[in-house]
């Protein structure tokens, strides 16, 4: 399963990239706001930190304006992936952009039928929001399971990009189901490294090592 970082914080992306865990980056208007930076400038910098897809989201609501914004965003770098909302105009834009080879991430997906529409529109990625689904009393991971089944039934190549991940169990379940990508806030990726027994084990080994009085090198 690929790991994308869900942030526009370039220091975090650079630090995590050094661990080899970063296969791409997702941003959205809220994350750009949080960064306090200009979308063009920060997206360009992010594109230089990974060879993988970097999702940059349009904010227009009609197809024609979405196409204009996509044209601006895709010139930033070759690895920009245009993010569009799951609306009729968003899917028109998806179809037009993917037909000429541009990567498209269809975002704000909350049903398996919506994911089916995105695949039919040729989306490179579908982003079901599991955390927001859970927050509203639905089962976010069941949504991923359904989309996996449907995509496999028809051999759709659209990648399932699990979004709105809140905790490591979402990541574990995504991998069990066979999602293609999990996009995670930096804190969730860092949380995956942690285990209380790892920390305890290091502590014990270091205590015993100290008693040997030895040094390596
Ligand atoms: C990623 O592409 C999404 O925009 C993001 O995961 C949404 O996460 P949130 O529900 O925590 O805002």
Q: Write the pLDDT tens digit of every residue in 69-109.
A: 999 999 999 999 999 999 999 999 999 999 999 999 999 99
Residue 196 is predicted with a pLDDT of 98
Residue 31 is predicted with a pLDDT of 98
Q: Write the pLDDT tens digit of every residue in 142-167.
A: 999 999 999 999 999 999 999 999 99
Cα(48) to centroid of ligand 1, in Å?
Answer: 22
Residue 43 is predicted with a pLDDT of 98
User: Six-digit token pair at 123?
Assistant: 């989306």
Query: With bands split at pLDDT 50, 70 and 90, how would you rate the model's confidence at 56?
Result: very high
Residue 79 is predicted with a pLDDT of 98
Q: Which of 183, 186, 189 to mutate to test the pocket of ligand 1 (most atoms within 8 A of CB)?
A: 183
Residue whose CA is closest, atom 8 of ligand 1? 164
CB-based burial of residue 15 (10 Å sphere; 0-12 exposed, 13-18 middle, 19+ buried)? middle
In this prediction, what percent of the chain has a pLDDT beyond 90? 100
Contact (CB, 8 A) for 113 and 86: no
Q: Which residue ranges form the domains of the chain, and what is each CATH number?
A: 2-190 (3.20.20.70)
Q: Write the pLDDT tens digit of every residue in 167-177.
A: 999 999 999 99
For the entire predicted model, the pTM comes to 0.97
Residue 63 is predicted with a pLDDT of 98
Residue 41 is predicted with a pLDDT of 98
Cα(171) to centroid of ligand 1, in Å?
Answer: 14
Residue 110 is predicted with a pLDDT of 98
User: Six-digit token pair at 79?
Assistant: 């690895």
Cα(8) to centroid of ligand 1, in Å?
Answer: 12
Residue 105 is predicted with a pLDDT of 99
Q: Across the strands, what pairs with 55?
A: 26, 81
Q: Average pLDDT, whole number, for the chain?
A: 98
Dihedral sign from CA coordinates of 153, 157, 163, 169: positive
Check if 33 is active-site: no
Determine if ligand 1 sits within 6 Å of the CB of residue 164.
yes
Dihedral sign from CA coordinates of 4, 115, 169, 131: positive
């Amino acid at each position: 399963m690929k790991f994308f970082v869900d942030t526009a914080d370039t220091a975090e992306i650079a630090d995590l990239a050094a661990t080899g865990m970063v296969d791409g980056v997702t941003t959205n208007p809220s994350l750009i706001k949080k960064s306090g930076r200009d979308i063009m400038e920060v997206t360009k910098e992010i594109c230089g930190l990974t060879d993988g897809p970097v999702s940059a989201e349009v904010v227009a609501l009609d197809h024609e304006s979405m196409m204009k914004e996509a044209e601006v965003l895709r010139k930033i770098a070759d690895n920009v992936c245009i993010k569009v909302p799951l609306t009729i105009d968003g899917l028109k834009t998806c179809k037009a952009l993917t037909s000429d080879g541009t990567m498209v991430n269809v975002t704000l997906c909350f049903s398996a039928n919506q994911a089916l529409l995105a695949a039919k529109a040729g989306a490179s990625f579908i982003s079901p929001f599991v955390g927001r689904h859970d927050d509203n009393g639905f089962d976010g991971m069941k949504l991923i399971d359904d989309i996996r089944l449907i995509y496999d039934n028809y051999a759709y190549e659209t990648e399932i990009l699990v979004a709105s991940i809140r905790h490591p169990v979402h990541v574990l379940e995504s991998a069990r189901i066979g999602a293609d990508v999990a996009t995670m806030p930096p804190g969730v990726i860092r949380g995956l490294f942690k285990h209380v027994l790892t920390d305890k084990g290091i502590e014990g080994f270091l205590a015993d090592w100290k008693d040997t009085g030895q040094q390596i090198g």
